[in-house]
Chains A and B, each alone.
Chain A
Amino acid sequence: MVLQSIKGKSFGLIIGATLLLLFNFLSIILGYTNITIQTAIDAFTNFNSSNEHIIILDVRLPRALIATAVGVSLGVAGALLQALTRNPLASPDILGFNAGASFSIVVALMLFSVTSLQAITWIAFIGAAIAGFLVYFLGSIGRDGMTPIKMTLAGAAIAALFASLTQGLLVMDESALDQVLFWMSGSVQGRKLDILFAVLPYLVIGLIISLIISNKINILNLGDDVAKGLGQRIMIVKLIAGISVILLAGGSVAIAGPIGFIGIVVPHVVKWLVGNDYRWIIPYCAIVGGIFLLIADIGARYILMPEEVPVGIMTALVGTPFFIYIARKGGRKA
């Protein structure tokens, strides 16, 4: 680890938070319509309904905030999942959470014409929970219990299953495609703040739970037997951690659609920074996750200017080499 002392870690956290704010600001001013810093500040202090001010308040600001919220949630969800499954390759997308949530949203929109944002959020949670449970179950059957390879394969299979079901539904009803494509594309662009506010409470609850149970996760990380020996009720801890993963991952899908690889990259970077103490890992994952997605989103605006690349593609391009690197390292616990 890079940061050894508590002082260093606290200092790092402050720097991280500052960077997060800075990138939020950059996300507001950078893009196809370049905006000066002064205009950006003016838009908040004295709004004059000029084009630029409208862009800032209606497009750029929601986009930056949503990227932050989603990045934070996915980073923390990844850290929790890697601890829960003892699998360095675990992340919400690899384990099928995203595919499950997307499928349930498509079903809800197309078959039951659900429109309320609250309902969609809950449906995303249920979908994520079902997929996660299936993968967990499939990955842990057998004599040698839960192994990273079984977990990853089960996740890939479940993800492929849900993805093909989603595809099938979309082909059958093309009129619904427009409505659903919004969720399917995996992007933080073009979403309104209403969506964020509908989901934000759940994300915050998930985040707070994760912070509270972080010291329990440290004990759990020693192995089930040791944790039991130390008097921990491991089933309850695992259940609570699982619920917060579902809140965080399901919530992110409900806002931004499936965005991959953040949950896998961020925890590894953070462990390299602060070591294996989850009381530090969780807050660091939150901040690094937010920064990572903001950078990816800003990059997505510039790669094919004037067209935009969905940010999910950006994170996949960065994340895959990382995934392969970890897989090569042996798939052991990192």
Chain B
Amino acid sequence: MAEVNPAEVSAILKKQLSGFEAEASLDEVGTVLTVGDGIANVYGLANVQYGELVQFEGGLEGIVLNLEEDNVGVVLLGPYRQVREGSVVKRTQRIASIKVGEGIVGRVVDTLGNPIDGKGAIEGETYEMPLERKAPGVIYREPVTEPLQTGIKSIDAMVPVGRGQRELVIGDRQTGKTTVCIDTILNQKEFYDAGEPVYCIYVAIGQKASTVAGIAKVLEDKGALAYTTIVAANASDPAPMQVYAPFAGAAIGEFFRDTGRPALIVFDDLSKQAVAYREVSLLLRRPPGREAYPGDVFFLHSRLLERAAKIIDNDDIAKEMNDLPDVLKDKVKGGGSLTALPLIETQAGDVSAYIPTNVISITDGQIFLTSDLFNSGVRPAINVGISVSRVGGNAQIKSMKKVAGTLKLDQAQFRELEAFAKFGSDLDPATLSVIEKGKRNVEILKQGQNDPYPVENQIAIIFAGSKNLLRDVPVDKIREFEKDYLEYLDAKHRDTLDTLKSGKLTDEVTDTLTSVAKELSAKYKNKE
């Protein structure tokens, strides 16, 4: 065991005791009638509000979810072994909320905002943000125009995501949904280093604690924890904790959004949250509907995802925003955004199940990941044919838009002709060229795990692909070529890449890219 420094111990004890009050308390109370399955029925608490936190003996908290004539239904947010029939329940006069401040960045917290990473209390000033909050109204919003770079070539090129957008990531188990989102978080390091961080929130719902610990480790190792908060409601936590975890994440995101900064939130995943919500609802004896989900499961997701928004870039209007918590009122700034990447797990590719169709209809587009592609080695396994981004097009930077404009169409054509190629019949040169180009583009869009690409590199390589400059490079050498090509550009033509990054695609730039691609591809041709 490590040596314990007595001075340190006293400091910690002092810190813990600093908030301790030994005064008498006057509370409104009720009595537990029944308790079980994570639900307590409480007699009394006549003035309690819907959604209010109540406290049981022993400090356990619960949220009031059913107000009935002579009793209230409370969902319990923790182990309820100490709660017995007849125990006293106190009102806290506090609507379920989470304490958020600058200090929450880099931490792992639970649904109620308590740190669970063992790094001590959240430091600095904190603000009480309600878990359930109305989404900003129309007047306080702006169209999505700014890109949120995911660092994944196929997404940034073909299904671009803008700041303030809600883009669904959907697919079977083991298709790389989490990886796509973690890579997106890693890619925000560029902006963090540039001093304009996109604050990331990763909400883990119903996952193994070891998985969450693994993700925290990856983020820490890659330097991404410096701008990321993890909200974890693990599989071992009670269902209500899992139901409210995304709301806690959204409350954290709103803190950054309403103080004029961009934020990104990943809900991993909402299918598990829906299952947890079904559990809670059934235990509260609410009538089941389709697939036994309660009637308001659509509202559960729509009110959550509606909180993702791009706030108008005008401080005066933003200050008037609806439903602002009082503590935040004098800190409000315009121009912030909250981008949401909800994840949904499908069963055997069935997107017509209840929850997937709901969330598809709520979001501004979806990224489909399929196991066929994943198993055939196309990773990230994004099926671009059925992936769309309904608003992201306006958010793409100009140079990317020009270069990648035809890529989606090219790939669609390629997939149509690919079937013919499998017959091995003689093909005319035009068809053959489409197929060869398509194969190379597929290769270009492959990408390693935890290896996001800066946007200028993406544009450069996609330019080479879509202009068919790689026809001389064998398909299995594309990855190698890509590496050489980007390294060469970075070393010799940094200014060209910088121009691309600023969104311009001048003739000079295209000439440079073309000549470099030709020069390097000639090298690969000779090798054969």
Question: Is the pairing of A and B real?
Answer: no
Which residues of A pack against B, CB within 8 Å? none
